[in-house]
Amino acid sequence: MDRKDRIVVLVGVVILVVALIGVMYHEKEYAGAEQTVEKYVYNVEWDEKTVTLRDEGHVAKGETSNYTYSIDHDGLTCVKFELEWSDDLAHGFIIPWNWSDTLDMKVSAPGNVKFSGSSSATGSTSPLVVEATIGSVPSSMQINASNETEVRKIIDSYISKDGKGSWDVDIGIQTKPFFFDRGNDFTLHISYTYYEPVITKVKVS
């Protein structure tokens, strides 16, 4: 092999080496791109909502009116019952008496519920109020998880289940000592507040 042939072979080898280096470099870049995975976290905030209900009824002399209300929400923080009425026979016209009906309200709650005061209230002045303070809203949090379903499983333990179910209300009356006083109409206001999660997906890389 003469000198000219050796030069041609040498140039070919150099070209081959450069080509191999280029291929290896691009393969490395491609592999690096494949290994780059986008990462996310989930921010969890809590949204409070209040539901109000209104019911009207009548409680007769010597009887008790019974009502049941179903609350189908987790995350309850407060449940309130407010009984209102107007006694239209409280004052005498001929004989100056001033007797009023006395109403009482008793509330029975699902398990693990503690009332703010008493679970019952009695009085001759409207309104009567019974209230239960059940829980508090959790703090905001950030969770590392693969998807929202996993996030919901994690935060489920932070959401109170207390108070969910049937609430029973008994309303009774002690009327004025007159034959014509047969009872009283009333309005019952029910309100409850609960929280639910607001989940936001946030990219971190």
Q: What is the pLDDT of residues 92-134, one digit of tens each?
A: 545 555 567 889 999 999 988 989 899 999 999 999 999 999 9
pLDDT of res. 101: 85
For the segment 156-188, what is each residue's pLDDT rounded down to a tens digit? 999 999 999 999 999 999 876 655 557 789 999
For the segment 10-54, what is each residue's pLDDT rounded down to a tens digit? 555 556 655 556 555 555 554 544 455 677 899 999 999 999 999
Name which residue leads in pLDDT, 198 or 10. Answer: 198
Rg for the chain, CA atoms, rounded: 37
Start-to-end C-alpha separation, the chain: 59
What is the residue whose two structure tokens read 């006083």? 181
For the segment 12-21, what is each residue's pLDDT rounded down to a tens digit? 555 665 555 6
Name which residue leads in pLDDT, 201 or 92. Answer: 201
